[in-house]
Amino acid sequence: MSERVPVEVRVNGEPCSAVVEPRLLLVHFLREELGLTGTHVGCDTSQCGACTVLIDGRSAKSCTVFAVQAAGSAVTTIEGLAEGEALHPLQEGFWEEHGLQCGYCTPGMIMAAASLLKENPDPSEAEIRSGLDGNLCRCTGYQHIVNAIARAAQQG
């Protein structure tokens, strides 16, 4: 039981493979196996969203997905968002609008917003706020985050 199994996942456009325990959570696969430490862990009950990544283009909490489940999928993490030096409009937005303080929830927040804007390129403020229902921030009171996403939507 529990033999290690090979896993191949396309991460930020690159094929990545490893032999892992089936119980390895995707977030730990990204952080420990691939060294992509921009994806964070903030809770253990799937509430905080700090671990949010895109799986096949849709936001997901990587603490609630086994790496083996993601085999064959395309995963995008915060590290895969900028095009080289050029920041993604959401990253620009968070910087310009002071959408982060400690920065811990930020990668998950940005990935959740990326998924939101993909589904709804021109969200209202209420839609932005409910689009963040899966993400907790304790520093900002969210107002600057909402501004950042609205800004990115305008520019996207």
**What part of residues 2-41 is at the interface with another protein (CB under 8 A)?**
2-3, 5, 21-25, 31, 36-41
CB of 134 to another protein, least distance (A): 3
CB of 24 to another protein, least distance (A): 8
Within 10 Å of residue 11's Cβ, how many Cβ atoms? 23
Applying the rule CB under 8 A, the residues between 46 and 75 that interact with another protein are 46-50, 52, 55, 58-61, 63-66, 68-69, 71
Hey, what amino acid is at 86? Answer: A
Rounded to 5 degrees, what are φ and ψ at 41?
Answer: -120, 125
Angle in degrees, 0-180, between the axes of helices 106-119 and 143-155, rounded to the nearest 10? 40
Applying the rule CB under 8 A, the residues between 93 and 122 that interact with another protein are 94-96, 98, 100-107, 110, 112, 115-116
CB of 71 to another protein, least distance (A): 8
User: Quick check: 144 and 105 in contact, CB under 8 A?
Assistant: no
State CA 68 to chain mean position distance.
18
